[in-house]
A and B are shown apart, each in its own frame.
Chain A
Amino acid sequence: AQSVTQLDSQVPVFEEAPVELRCNYSSSVSVYLFWYVQYPNQGLQLLLKYLSGSTLVKGINGFEAEFNKSQTSFHLRKPSVHISDTAEYFCAVRRTNTDKLIFGTGTRLQVFP
Chain B
Amino acid sequence: DAGVIQSPRHEVTEMGQEVTLRCKPISGHNSLFWYRQTMMRGLELLIYFNNNVPIDDSGMPEDRFSAKMPNASFSTLKIQPSEPRDSAVYFCASRPGQGEETQYFGPGTRLLVL
Contact = CB atoms under 8 A, between A and B. Distances in A.
Contact of A43 (B50, B55, B91, B98): B91
A43 B42 contact: no
B25 interface: no
B12 interface: no
Contacts of A90: 43
A63 interface: no
Given A99-B56, A100-B45, A100-B56, A49 B101 contact: yes
Query: Main secondary structure on chain B at its contact with chain A?
Result: strand
Contact of A106 (B31, B42, B91, B105): B42
Interface string A21-53: 000000000001010100001111110010100
A43 B105 contact: yes
Contact of A42 (B42, B93, B101, B107): B107
A44 B91 contact: yes
Given A99-B48, A99-B56, A100-B48, A44 B42 contact: no
B72 interface: no
Interface string B82-114: 000000000101000010011111111000000
B50 A99 contact: yes
A101 interface: yes
A49 B106 contact: no
B26 interface: no
B75 to A, nearest CB: 15
B4 interface: yes
Contact of B43 (A32, A45, A103): A103
Contacts of B93: 43-44
Interface in B11-37: 31, 33
Interface of A: 32, 34, 36, 41-46, 49, 51, 90, 94, 99-106
**What 7 pairs across the A-B complex have the smallest Cβ distances?**
A43-B105, A103-B43, A44-B105, A105-B42, A43-B107, A46-B102, A43-B106
